[in-house]
Structure 1
Amino acid sequence: MAPSTPVVAGLLLFLFGVCLVDSRSVYDHHHHSVVANGRWLLQAAPAVTIDCGAKCSVRCSKSWKRKMCNKLCGVCCSKCNCVPPGTSAETRAMCPCYATMTNPRGKLKCP
């Protein structure tokens, strides 16, 4: 006995709905692609994160408040994934995100 048209249509709608459930963030580990709104999109490889602790330790090595400097630098580094090299203020431009981040009072946040 062949299934009726409404049964087949219902089954197809059910399968289509199952495929779309939470399709906004389905990740394919083999091809680095993502399903977003029912479309397959290529995804960039995850960005390499830097060792914020080591970079901030160097950046804050000459600070007179090392603990505070390391804390603020760590916050900035985690948001920007960048810390200017060395200990001088002249190198800030090498990390635009780090160099322009401000605190609630409008002053530069990152040491």
Structure 2
Amino acid sequence: MAKLITILLLTLLAVTMVLAKGGHHHAYGPGSLKSSQCPGQCIRRCSKTQYHKPCMFFCQKCCAKCLCVPPGYYGNKQVCPCYNNWKTKEGGPKCP
């Protein structure tokens, strides 16, 4: 019985470690994406705005440069400094 409990605990520990390394967890931050992931992440990011086309255009441009799209539909830009700090000529935010 003690061997069975030990095996179950080791299995649970192994599964926990795999999930922590990226099983179902999506990491955010600089360089967290491949360029092929940008369209899907920008669709998510821009899905709730009424300005879908410009949001998609700028999001994909920013993602291609930064390889990062913040979580959620708005805000949270602090997790992607490149995305957050890229400004327009007028000084406004370039990335949605």
TM-score bracket for the superposition, by shorter chain length: 0.5 to 0.7
Structure with larger Rg: 1
Q: Which has the higher helix share?
A: 2
TM-score, scaled to structure 2: 0.62
**1:53 matched to 2:39:** yes
Structure 1 residue 65: Cα displacement: 0.6
Residue segments in structure 2 that go unaligned for 5+ positions in a row: 1-31
**1:82 matched to 2:73:** no
Q: Deviations over 1:49-88 (max 9, x none)?
A: 1410000000000111101100000000000000001112
Higher relative contact order (CA 8 A, sep 6+): 2
TM-score, scaled to structure 1: 0.54
In the TM superposition, structure 1's runs of 4+ consecutive aligned residues that sit over 2 Å from their partners are: none
Classify 1:105/1:88 alpha carbon distance in 2 versus 1 (closer, same or farther; 3 Å): same
**1:73 matched to 2:67:** no
Partner SS, residue 55 of structure 2: helix
* Identical pairs, percent: 41
Partner SS, residue 64 of structure 2: helix
Match of 2:90 in 1: 105
Structure 1 residue 98: Cα displacement: 0.2
Residue segments in structure 1 that go unaligned for 5+ positions in a row: 1-46
Contact 2:33 2:68 in 1 (8 A): no
Q: Which has the higher strand share?
A: 1
Classify 1:81/1:87 alpha carbon distance in 2 versus 1 (closer, same or farther; 3 Å): same
Question: d(CA) in 1 for partners of 2:40 and 2:80?
Answer: 16
